[in-house]
Structure 1
Amino acid sequence: MITLRKITLENRRAIFNLEVTEDQRRFVASNLSSVASCYVLATNGGHPFPFAIYADEEPVGFVMITYQITGYDLPAIADDSYCILRLMIDHRYQNRGYGREAMEKIMAFIRTRPAGPARYCWISYKDENVHAKKLYESFGFRDSGEVLHGEKITMLEL
């Protein structure tokens, strides 16, 4: 069973050590870098939600959800929207359905609107990341037609 858990002093190193395959590193920042970004976002008025993704009692991935990002080039729908800014499953645990199960938990969390009201959730992805695109589309995300920093913006009306 997949669960989203807070990153703690006890699990942080295990989360920082999770990695995607060498070929996938061009698609996602390291988990350590992402957690550091949470600090920057939080101190600049944003609302980051970093979570460890667990399969039963084993850490298998990481997700960073944000609300009201400031100081970045953002898509037109970004104001008062949630963003899945980072999502990764460690290379040892891929192709087991964990990404799909994690997305179900992520979307359930976002739909509680933990930081405030929102009409959309959005995600950016590189065009060559076909697995990510398929996953997002299976949850109802659709390309907005916008491209930022070489990444397509896909969105879902909440």
Structure 2
Amino acid sequence: MELKKVTNQNLWDVVKLKVRSDQKEFVADNATSLLEAYATQNEGGKVETFALYEKDTLVGFAMINFNVSIWEGAPKVARNNYCLWRLMIDQRYQDQALGIDALVCLIRYIKSMPLGRGKKLYLSYVPSNVAAEQLYKAAGFVPNGEKIGEEIVLVLDLEK
């Protein structure tokens, strides 16, 4: 798995990636995610977007941020920590263990502290998204008791 920044060269291919119809309630489409990243950067937030490639084939999209904690409802863990804001694998490439490969790659990248020094990586998921819950918990994420709306917050210690 390889992380490549979203650029003008791959932007529209990233926008075309889609999850299965039964997953649309769990993750924003990539155009919305890219717009949110752009707006957050314009407000001084630290955000990076990635096209996920497996052997030169675009298979997914991911977005991270650091210390973006100024929005209403932000969990306490957001302050001075990393967030895996989005992770999706295109419907054509699901059920091939690419989600875990992408997650391992992203965690390794985040541990290099590209946007600032943080101790935790957090994310949130919709409780009915059992596949996401299993993926994140298998990677070592644990609940910290916080929620973002109805979504459950999971945290990974980056210092281990």
Q: How many residues align?
A: 157
What is the match of residue 61 of structure 1? 60
Consecutive aligned runs of 4 or more in structure 1 exceeding 6 Å deviation: none
1:70 Cα deviation (Å)? 4.1
Query: Residue 122 in 1 paired to residue 122 in 2?
Result: yes
1:37 Cα deviation (Å)? 0.8
What is the match of residue 10 of structure 1? 9
TM-score (norm 2): 0.95
Q: Distance in 1 between matches of 2:75 and 2:67?
A: 12
1:85 Cα deviation (Å)? 0.5
What is the match of residue 103 of structure 2? 103
What is the match of residue 146 of structure 1? 146
1:120 counterpart letter in structure 2: K
Aligned 8 A contact 1:45 1:70 in 2: no
2:16 counterpart letter in structure 1: N
**Taking every aligned residue pair, what percent have the same amino acid on both sides?**
35
Aligned 8 A contact 1:122 1:153 in 2: yes
Structure 1 vs Structure 2 CA RMSD: 0.9
- 1:26-57 alpha-carbon deviations (Å, 9 max, x no partner): 01001111111111111112110100001111
Q: Distance in 2 between matches of 1:65 and 1:147?
A: 18
Query: Residue 87 in 1 paired to residue 53 in 2?
Result: no
Tell me, what secondary structure is at the counterpart of 1:110?
helix
